[in-house]
Structure formats: structure tokens, C-alpha cells
A = this chain, B = another copy of it.
Amino acid sequence: MIVVMKTDATAEQIDHVVAHIRELGMTPQVITGKFQTVVAALGQERVGLVELLEPAPGVEKVLPIMAPYKRASSELKGDRTVVRARDLEVGGLRIGMIAGPCSVEGEDQIVELARTLKQLGATGLRGGAFKPRTSPYSFQGHKEEGLKMLAAARAETGLAIVTEVMAPEHVAMVAEYADVLQVGARNMQNYNLLQAVGDAGKPVLLKRGMSATMDEFLLAAEYILDRNNPHVMLCERGIRTFEDHTRFTLPLASVPYLHEKSHLPVVVDPSHGTGKARLVPPMCAAAIACGADGLIVEVHTDPEHAMSDGAQTITPSVFSEMMAHCRRVAEAVGRTL
């Protein structure tokens, strides 16, 4: 940590900071510049220390040096993590394709759609049984019934089931049916939930919060890893910005950035990331081109009658064309789909 003193900081104020750094268990080193003094604090940097050093008189600002996450860091673990659930593989040469409706609506619907998606090359089946909805008046999902429908679709097709869990008290139930536990963007910093899915030990798809920084995203993953669950997939699903022509802004540079900083695989969600069905296929291709290890896409046979998210949902026929297109891009970058 680097404590930058104000230009008019007194010797006494510098001494105070030096003493405080020692008290915090770190080693201070004073660097006297021509215009300003800075004090380096050597040793293990803990999150929260910045806040303790900043209030001292004479301190201009405190700059952290070390990454705040450890287990998620590529520094700690050299080889890349591959997450596997049935035929779904995320992090290896083959790109995982998770597709399905926003909400599970009925058993026939989900089984039939799963068959189609399997045939077109999907390896995972998404579908919401518990739905976080902005309004209390919206459809909230079929809950356990929905999970059973997903299980039926898996029995038919072998696709890995990826579904959201919204509360710690539901983790056991969802884990009974699902192959991958999804933590939604709104829950990325629901720490009780992160610990619960960590304890469950199953693969987790962790969605980035819509205003989370990369450090916060990796620290959320750290909560899960810290419970000795190494099967974490990071999912970029778009951030909230001033842009209003798309539902969210999809910042694909996070894919190569996360690959550099972390050993965890990265999945991209262009359905939520754009909110517009027409933009989903080109953004899937772009995600693959910059290194995404997996994709998660909303598909429904009749988006106009979908129980949720119709505007960003593609049909199986668009999905089919998209797969052909994306396969060519995957090959161009040395991957398969």
C-alpha cells in the first residue's frame, strides 16, 4: 500500500502514519520526494486497510498495490480451471453452449426445446424455475415444479441443467435437480448465498453484477472458492451505463482481462448483455473471437408468448444459423463448438 501525504504534511503527521502502519502489522518505508512524501506499507495488504489509513491528518490518498483476491488469481494457480458438468465443458478447447428459455414454462415445452437444442449443438440447458423479477406483480417462476421439468428434459437429452438459485434456503433443493447453480447478477454480492453455493460443492455460474468492478466480481468468486468449491465460471452479462439503445452495455474486453487475471473460465451472456434478439448472434460471434469459454443464450420457440424476456430471445431457427456461424469463428480462433 502506498500512503500519499499532502504536499504540506508535517513531520509529525508522517510519523503518525508510520506508527499506524506498524500497528497494522506492516512495515513502513518513507520515500521523500521533492514535492511530496509517500509512505510505502510493506507486507500482506488486507481489504479495509485503505479505509483505516485515509482518515489520518496529512494524508492525501491511499493506493492499494496488491490484488484483493487470492484464490481466483492466476498468480496463485498457474493452470486454467476447466468446469465440467455432464457434456458441458467450460474452460477447455471446446466452447460450452448453454441455451434455453428465460423461464421454464411447462414440461412439454422444455423437453421439446431441449431436444432441439441438443440436436443443434447445445451442451447445457438454461431455464429459470426461481425468477428474480423487478416487479412483485410479474411471474416469479414455477419453483420446484420447474426444477422437475428441467430434470425431465435432462433425462431425455443428457444436457447439463443450469438454473438460478436466489436464496440460501433454496440451495439444497436446487442442487438436487441442477447440474450448475447460477447466481444472478442482482445477487452477485449476496454473500450468504455465495457461501451457500460454495458449500454445495456443485459447479457455479456466477454472473457479474450490473455495476460490479472486476475486483468486486473476482472477490465474489473468492467467496465461493473460499468454501473449497473450485468449480466456478465467471459470466459477463453486461453492465449498466448511459447507453439506452441496448438494455445493458456488453463490455467484451472483460473476457481477455479476466483470462489474464484469473484462472477461472469466462462465459458471456449476449441475451441480457444486449436485450435485443437481433444483436445476440453477432455478439456471440464476437465473444468467441475474443476468447469466451462459454455462451449462455435465451432461446424460445415463440418469443412473443414467452413468460419473460421475449425481446432478447431468439428462436431455434435463428439459433441454428447462429451455431453454424459461430462454429466457423470458433475454428478460426482454434476452438470447437
A residues adjacent to B (C-beta < 8 A): 2, 4, 7-8, 20, 29, 31-36, 38, 40, 42-44, 46-48, 50-56, 63, 65-66, 68-69, 75, 132-140, 166-169, 186-187, 189-192, 210-211, 213-216, 219, 222-223, 226, 239-246, 249-257, 260, 273-274, 276-279, 282-283, 285-291, 303-306, 308-313, 325, 328-329, 331-333
Q: Is the CB of B48 within 8 A of A139?
A: yes
Bound Cα distance A33, B135 (Å): 22
Q: Which residues of B contact A168 (CB under 8 A)?
A: 167, 169
Question: Taking A135-B68, A279-B257 as contacts, is the C-beta distance between A56 and B304 under 8 angstroms?
Answer: yes
Given A135-B68, A168-B169: A289 touches B278 (CB 8 Å cut-off) = no
**Given A42-B34, A282-B255; A308-B274 close (CB under 8 Å):** no
Contact of A310 among B31, B47, B51, B219 (CB under 8 A): B51
Least CB separation from A191: chain B residue: B132
| Nearest chain B CB to A14 CB, angstrom units | 15
**Number of chain copies forming the complex:** 4
Cβ-defined contact, B55 with A222, below 8 A: no
Inter-chain contact B305/A52, CB cutoff 8 Å: yes
Specify which of A31, A69, A211 lies most central, judged by the most chain B CB atoms within 10 Å of its CB: A211
Q: How far is the CA of A8 from the CA of B73 in the complex (A)?
A: 13
Contact of A242 among B241, B257, B276, B282 (CB under 8 A): B241
CB-CB under 8 A from A55, the residues of chain B are 277, 303-304, 310-311, 313
A63 near B66 (CB under 8 angstroms)?
Answer: no
Central interface residue in A44, A313, A332, by most chain B CB within 10 Å: A332
CA distance A68 to B48 in the complex (A): 27
- Which of B139, B222, B285, B290 meets A283, CB within 8 Å? B290
B34 touches A31 (CB 8 A): no
Interchain nearest-CB distance for A29 vs B (Å): 6
Residues of B within 8 A of A44 (CB): 34-35
Q: Known contacts A65-B38, A332-B328: does B192 contact A167 (CB below 8 Å)?
A: yes
B278 touches A256 (CB 8 A): yes
Give the distance in Å from the alpha carbon of A199 to the alpha carbon of B205 in the complex: 31
* Nearest CB on B from A161, distance (A): 21
Residues of B near A53 (CB, < 8 A) are 304
Closest to A330 in B: B332
| B246 pairs with A249, CB closer than 8 A | no
Task: Beyond A55-B277, A135-B222, A250-B253, list 12 extra A-B contacts (CB 8 Å).
Answer: A35-B44, A36-B66, A46-B137, A55-B310, A133-B191, A167-B190, A168-B169, A169-B169, A245-B257, A253-B273, A257-B279, A332-B332
Q: Are A253 and B242 in contact (CB under 8 A)?
A: no
Q: Once bound together, how far apart are the Cα atoms of A221 and B182, in whole Å?
A: 25
- Report B-chain residues with C-beta under 8 Å of the C-beta of A133: 47-48, 191
Q: Are B31 and A31 in contact (CB under 8 A)?
A: yes
Which residue of chain B lies nearest to A29 when distances are taken between CB atoms in the complex? B31
Instruction: Contact check, A136 vs B290: say whether CB atoms are below 8 A apart.
Output: no
